[in-house]
Amino acid sequence: MSGGYKVQGIIRENSGRDEKHAVEGLLEKGDMEQLQKRFCRAEDVFALCVDEKGHPVTEWSGEKTEKERIQGCVSAERMDAMFRRVSEEGSLEEQIVEPTEYENVRLAALAVRVSGRVFCCWFILAVFPEQEGAVEHQLTGMKTVTTENRMYRSLELLGTISRKLFSMKLQSMEAEKEWQRDRTSEQEMSESLRRIETFTEIVQFLDSDEGIEAILQEILKLAGSYLEVSSCQIFRKHKQGKYIDLVGEWCNHGIASVFDQTRGMDQPQLLEIEKPLVISSLSECSAADNEYMKRMHLKSLIIMPIRLNDTVSMYASFCQCKAERRWQVDEIRFVNDVVKIMQSIITKRLQKNSLVSSYETLENILDHVGSAIYVKDEETGRFLFGNRILKRTFEKELKDGTLDALLERGASAGRNDGNYEFSHTEKKRWYDLYYTGIRWVDGRKAALYAIYDITDKKIYQRKIEQQAYTDFLTGLYNRMCCERDLAWHIDQAKKDGTEGALLYLDLDDFKHINDGLGHQYGDVLLKAISHSLKRIDGIDNTCYRMGGDEFVIIIPPASFQKFDRIINEIRDIFGRPWFLKDADYYCTMSMGVVNFPTEGDNVQELIKKADIAMYEAKRGGKNRMTQYSDNIASGSNKRLDMEKNMRDATVDGYKEFEVYFQPIVDNRLPDTPCTGAEALIRWNSAELGFISPAEFIPLAEYLGLINPIGNHVLKQACVACRKWNESGRPNYKVNVNLSVVQLLQPDIVEIIEQTIRETGIAPRNLTLEVTESLAINDMDRMKEILGNIKKLGARIALDDFGTGYSSLNHIREMPLDVIKVDQSFVKDLAKDSYSQSFIKMVSELADAIGVNVCVEGIESEEQYKVLKGMKVSLIQGYYFDRPMPQDAFEKKYVQAVEILETV
């Protein structure tokens, strides 16, 4: 075990691994070792941590002698199985505790999930004090011991610490990513500014009186330094023969020229081109070009032809010889613009400084650069030149004479260093402006402005900021933005002596819509609700989605006088149906309300109080609003106790969950004998006593424990029924309710099949009850699921019939064996003609389609007598007997009946 262990069928070694683990760099070995060491030392347990793929992050903790003793205590296969149970996607088990071959030793596995994702898994080995007279074994006499209760508290503490650790690291990484994006944007702007500055310096050589070779040499230096290339050259072609001269060359620091002569050199094939040539590192090129690159020790290369009088007479080359380089589009454009400037300067000198020719050449160059160029006389302010981009972009300003005012207004708001940003309100555009003083072609002093449109960059920056505070699905603000805004509103309310409110909304039974109609329709509903909330005056800019189906609304102090109207409008939104999948569906909400700063001025505390009030609204029946109070807070503590005890009960093998049985009698036989029972769950908590199903079943659904609890009831009921069948009651049947959540499990049919196989119950004696409202919510899906269950041999009962909206056609389509009439029709059965007619109609319908009818809720003899003349097959209710524990049911309806038959 010390070197590695098997997880998911792969042996993963613990040696030679990087300090940072696979989970996005979050799982650092040093952090986990420190946490493990301190935790184990404080809690007196042994621990080992693996990452989300099962790779060991740490070794077993403890002293060397004790580590050697525990390593042989647990098999690799067992750890493999426990790892899969807690870490697989969709698993409802975050932690499991299993006994070992030693009575006082337990092995636990704890998956650490954050935002639904497993980041690591802890294995905990706990050794309890030895009982007096216990058999000695491998771990007898261990110094590191704990108790069972302390072990469970330790698991809870370790899970809380680990989740908090990863949550903090996730937040830190998000902040780091945001910082990197901002830094990249700043680098892009800095690079753009440097390129503009370099190009502006090169443009100034257009009117220089220095020698042509000196000018070209200086331009090569500026361009080469900006591009950070190894060297730059300018070559001139001979008019006769394939020879070239080296006119000018610049080499970067530490780079020596590769040319041993400057005149009459052989012209390589690379310098016979008519169009620009760009060769990046590792790109494909001809054999001749490749040979030249190797001979000149070049990694990458740009060659630009220089045309004089429409003929290629010269070439400019930009070379990289040390590092690999892939040329960027902006770099190639820059080189092209620089070559045009050099071409203009050379042409100007060849044309003997012709002013007209120089101006035309300059105009042609500046008309093709990627920015608006504006030149004016520095002394008089008179317009000298504007390129095509300037005239197209600022046509109105040039016509009205307001361009200077626009630029000066921006300059006054920006930095006084020759570069600043300014906005054009009417055009809704942003610009970056660079300006400098130059000598114009006629020798006068002029101011040159280069104006770049940076609107797209600004929009992108705002988009990034918006994404950080916006929920992607609904467009509402997210939790991060909510906490920021709430803190601001609290401060304002305290400063001004005013009051605001925080509303916490949770959709009722949203999971039924998500599972019944599909997640795409659940998303449609969330977006529709968000759109409706944003349209309410007073909270149009303070609605937030906290995640899932939870929303928070801040009623700011400025809108607090509209509190009642806002609450009523929210209620009206959820009082109307939503059109989804070609039908109307209702979705209500439960809401908790807390005022600030009167009931708190801490952001997290206020959100917690609103959440507590919201849960109280759900517990009170849903579809309602609850104002926070201290009494509710104490009730919340009770809920937390109930939640903790429920989790403990599920970990402890469901011993506290008892299955009661209520007899079902056959109305067709003399003396209405018992023909089976309905299995009903009861929770007898060791800490809290008996708890009503109305209290703990919604909590089990909320905690995601209803499936394992329901599976436990199914198994216990099948075991009991088989016992009855083998005790002389071969025709006794047991009815088991399937909850909405259970029935929508993708593997529900496999679970039922496995239960039948493991318990050995005759499938015909198992009746599974589904509610009418569930069955009609997605008829096609229900028919498929129920049909597959029927193929197993089990029976299907439609429960609570009459409370939903089933059509007779639906009843005929479903593979039913029993229709159970809801007890709401039985309450006034003795004197209500409608109830009598309804049951009679259902009985005749069932008889026509070959289905039995069971009427539940019979509590009096008068109700029972009404049913005698109807075709009611089965009856259930307090008149015959109440739900009772299994041993009481068997004593009365299995053993007693057996004795009577013997007599």
Instruction: Say yes or no to pLDDT of 123 above 60.
Output: yes
**Residue 91 vs residues 76, 657, 870: alpha-carbon distances, Å:** 21, 21, 48
Q: Mean pLDDT, to the nearest integer, of 344-357?
A: 66
pLDDT of residue 850: 87
pLDDT of residue 277: 92
pLDDT of residue 8: 35
Residues 77 and 6: beta-carbon distance below 8 Å: yes
pLDDT of residue 14: 39
Sign of CA pseudo-dihedral 744, 747, 749, 751: negative
* Range scoring the smallest mean pLDDT among 132-141, 320-329, 581-590: 132-141
Distance CA 736, CA 718 (A): 9
pLDDT of residue 411: 54
Distance CA 765, CA 676 (A): 9
State the pLDDT confidence band at 17, using cuts at 50, 70 and 90. Answer: very low
Distance CA 56, CA 80 (A): 12
Nearest to 374 by CA among 356, 395, 344: 395
Q: Mean pLDDT, to the nearest integer, of 52-68?
A: 87
pLDDT of residue 772: 62
pLDDT > 70: what percent of the chain? 91
pLDDT of residue 261: 83
Nearest to 316 by CA among 234, 243, 252: 234
Residue bearing the bigger pLDDT, 765 or 701: 765
What CA dihedral angle connects 179, 184, 186 and 192, to 10 degrees? 180
State the pLDDT confidence band at 805, using cuts at 50, 70 and 90. Answer: very low
Q: Mean pLDDT, to the nearest integer, of 590-613?
A: 92
Residues 28 and 40: beta-carbon distance below 8 Å: no
State the pLDDT confidence band at 20, using cuts at 50, 70 and 90. Answer: very low
Q: Mean pLDDT, to the nearest integer, of 730-756?
A: 89
Per-residue buried b or exposed e for 469-508, using 16+ beta carbons within 10 Å of the residue's own CB: ebbeebebbbbebbbebbeebbeebeeeebbbbbbbbbbb
Do you find a cis peptide bond into 597, omega within 30 degrees of 0?
Answer: yes
Residues 387 and 372: beta-carbon distance below 8 Å: yes
pLDDT of residue 200: 83
Nearest to 797 by CA among 827, 778, 775, 825: 775
Q: Which helix (H) or strand (E) holds 120?
A: strand 117-127
Query: Which range scores top for mean pLDDT: 416-425, 617-626, 893-902?
Result: 617-626
Query: Do strands 10-13 and 4-7 pair parallel, antiparallel, or not at all (unpaired)?
Result: antiparallel
State the pLDDT confidence band at 498, using cuts at 50, 70 and 90. Answer: very high
Q: Mean pLDDT, to the nearest integer, of 308-315?
A: 87
Query: Which two tokens mark 750?
Result: 């496999």
Distance CA 255, CA 249 (A): 12
Residue with tokens 């260093």: 417
| pTM recorded for the entire structure | 0.41
Instruction: Say yes or no to pLDDT of 360 above 70.
Output: no
Distance CA 17, CA 469 (A): 37
Distance CA 344, CA 486 (A): 62
**676 strand-pairing partners:** 664, 733
pLDDT of residue 505: 95
pLDDT of residue 529: 94
Q: Mean pLDDT, to the nearest integer, of 568-575?
A: 92
pLDDT of residue 7: 36
Q: Mean pLDDT, to the nearest integer, of 779-804?
A: 84
Distance CA 320, CA 299 (A): 6
State the pLDDT confidence band at 900, using cuts at 50, 70 and 90. Answer: very low
Residues 492 and 596: beta-carbon distance below 8 Å: no
Distance CA 642, CA 636 (A): 10
Q: Mean pLDDT, to the nearest integer, of 459-487?
A: 85
Instruction: Say yes or no to pLDDT of 892 above 80.
Output: yes
DSSP 892: I
Residue bearing the bigger pLDDT, 749 or 616: 749
Could you give the residue numbers annotated as active site? 856
pLDDT, tens digit (0-9, with 9 covering 90-100), for 389-413? 888 888 888 888 888 888 876 555 4
Instruction: Say yes or no to pLDDT of 414 above 60.
Output: no
pLDDT of residue 636: 61
Distance CA 350, CA 313 (A): 13
Q: Mean pLDDT, to the nearest integer, of 492-511?
A: 92
**Residue 714 vs residues 116, 752, 754, 756, 890: alpha-carbon distances, Å:** 28, 8, 11, 9, 18
DSSP string, 755-795: HHHHH---GGGEEEEEEHHHHHHTHHHHHHHHHHHHHTT-E
pLDDT of residue 808: 59
pLDDT of residue 743: 80
Query: Which range scores top for mean pLDDT: 205-214, 714-723, 810-819?
Result: 714-723
Q: Mean pLDDT, to the nearest integer, of 455-474?
A: 80
pLDDT of residue 420: 77
End-to-end CA distance of the chain: 65
Q: Where are the beta strands (DSSP E) in 611-765?
A: 625-627, 657-666, 674-685, 689-691, 733-737
* Range scoring the smallest mean pLDDT among 119-128, 227-236, 396-405: 396-405
Residue bearing the bigger pLDDT, 192 or 851: 851
Residue bearing the bigger pLDDT, 826 or 807: 826
pLDDT of residue 410: 55
CB count, 10 Å around CB of 242? 13
pLDDT, tens digit (0-9, with 9 covering 90-100), for 363-393? 777 887 778 898 988 888 888 888 888 888 8
Sign of CA pseudo-dihedral 736, 739, 740, 745: negative
Residues 482 and 489: beta-carbon distance below 8 Å: no
Mean pLDDT, all residues of the chain: 84
Report helix angle 29-43 to 148-203, nearest 10. 160
Residues 267 and 243: beta-carbon distance below 8 Å: yes
Instruction: Say yes or no to pLDDT of 167 above 80.
Output: yes
Q: Mean pLDDT, to the nearest integer, of 682-708?
A: 84
State the pLDDT confidence band at 310, using cuts at 50, 70 and 90. Answer: confident
pLDDT of residue 844: 87
State the pLDDT confidence band at 26, using cuts at 50, 70 and 90. Answer: low
Distance CA 561, CA 580 (A): 35
Nearest to 358 by CA among 520, 208, 150, 507: 208
| Residue 898, amino acid | E
Residues 31 and 165: beta-carbon distance below 8 Å: yes
If you compute the radius of gyration of the chain from its CA atoms, what whole number of angstroms results? 41
